[in-house]
Amino acid sequence: MVFQIPGVMLPQANAEMLAIAAEVEAHKGDLETTVFRVGFLNDDTADKDVFAGLQGPDHKGALSLSRPSMSRWLLREADERNWIGGAPSLGN
């Protein structure tokens, strides 16, 4: 029942998520991907630290993330490539 909620409540968003997943899967040998999850985006400052990690009790990030700090993390990740093939959750 829980897995049916996105399809019923947000059909367009659910269709987009499924299409993205299908494309990534179809081209996984040709693409280097990082799928990241964010919590609640806010307009706080860029100088906040971004914690990237797997969900669980050891994750240090908050449930919110500032847009400017996410942009900083994305640019740094493009250079450092720490999460290629991974799926971190981001938070400040």
Residues 17-48 have pLDDT tens digits of: 888 888 888 887 888 888 888 889 999 999 99
Q: Where are the domains of the chain?
A: 1-31, 32-92
Residue with tokens 């400052």: 45
What are the E-state strand segments in the chain?
37-38, 40-42, 51-53, 64-66, 89-91
Model confidence at 3, pLDDT cuts 50, 70, 90, reads low
Question: Which conformational region is residue 61 in: left (phi greater than 0), alpha (psi within -120 to 50 degrees), or beta?
Answer: beta
60-84 confidence digits (pLDDT tens) = 888 899 999 999 999 999 999 999 9
